[in-house]
Amino acid sequence: MLTANPKRARLFHDESLADEDTYEPFLRLLWKGNWFIQEKSCKILSLTVSARSKVQNGADANGDASSSKKKITTIDDVLAGVVEWLCAQLKKPTHPTRSIPSTINCLSTLLKEPVVRSSFVRADGVKLLVPLISPASTQQSIQLLYETCLCVWLLSYYEPAIEYLATSRALPRLIEVVKGSTKEKVVRVVILTLRNLLSKGTFSAHMVDLGVLQIVQSLKAQAWSDEDLLDALNQLEQGLKENIKKLSSFDKYKQEVLLGHLDWSPMHKDPIFWRENINNFEENDFQILRVLITILDTSSDARTLAVACYDLSQFIQCHSAGRIIVNDLKAKERVMRLLNHENAEVTKNALLCIQRLFLGAKYASFLQA
């Protein structure tokens, strides 16, 4: 009856049942009887819980039972009991073929509830979902995949769950799914999940590394009918492009420095580059700055030496503790030696660097080359 019309679940919350404990029999049967009874009890609980009035007080699951003498199962009791049973099924299925699909189906309904998200994360449920995110071929497995991804999408609105997702293999698995799926509803829910995760922690950088931009552009070239999917693809593409722009400039700079060959590419004299990336120089105990200083000793290329001196002067200028850091790394003596270099470009930039070292940020603005 409920499968044919889920709205019938509202009948469980009719005022005439205010004094009845409508949840308790199904909650009890979750742990008793055969699999058929357990599965149907879980399904009925999921539908009836979802059908309740959201303005209803959490203390009384079945309406205003204040006049009732008997103890009535609260909504918190119900949700805690159901989440416990669902996690138990994911860990150790009691039915070889039905446990997982039924569990995921109920979860995809219940995770709309903030309380269930919280309980599910506390029960370490997120890591139980991740292995189920894998490309599917049969109709049955496609539905399971869709509902699993739907669960992940619902969890992507909950910060503690996002932390779990970040430390698992959820992202590469989601990307594998979207690369191999032709089912629009699967693609849609994965793309909506990626869009939600884009601004969280290091997800954006990982998406760039895993080639999500190319996948998104390939998906945009296909004919999709779902407007939400098209909007999400556009937002994801724009966000990834912005991130690549932000990442690539400093990554490109790092690569140039680590290779030990510097040239006057635009970023060296771009004030925006220095302003936006100055804190990135602090990574790995100022690794790039240390390499830059080492170049002053090891390189014989005049252009490389000139650019290295200029970049050091820019670091001194832009970083709040630039002078102190560069002095602590013993750069001054190395730059001083270059004041006598035969190449005018080298001596000019070495002098600029020394002036900024001695004068500091207060007067450095007068020394723009």
Tokens for 50? 């979802």
DSSP at 316: H
In the chain, domain spans: 250-365
Burial 22-45 (b: 16+ CB within 10 A, else e): bbbebbebbeeeeeeebbebbbbb
Question: What pLDDT score was predicted for residue 58?
Answer: 44
* Phi and psi angles of residue 246, each rounded to the nearest 5 degrees, phi first: -70, -45
Q: At what angle do helices 139-155 and 114-122 cross, to 10 degrees?
A: 100
By C-alpha distance, which of 352, 346, 353, 297 is closest to 323? 353
What is the dotted CATH code of the domain comprising 250-365?
1.25.40.150
- Do the beta carbons of residue 203 and residue 171 sit within 8 Å? yes
Residue 70 has a pLDDT of 59
How confident is the prediction along the chain (369 residues), in pLDDT tens digits per residue? 998 998 999 999 988 988 889 899 999 999 887 899 999 999 999 999 988 886 544 444 444 444 444 567 888 889 999 999 999 999 999 999 999 999 999 999 999 999 999 999 999 999 999 999 999 888 889 999 999 999 999 999 999 999 999 888 999 999 999 999 989 999 999 999 999 999 998 788 789 878 899 999 999 999 899 999 999 999 999 999 888 777 667 888 988 899 898 988 778 888 888 998 999 999 999 999 999 999 999 999 999 999 999 999 999 999 999 999 999 999 999 999 999 999 999 999 999 999 999 875 555 444 444
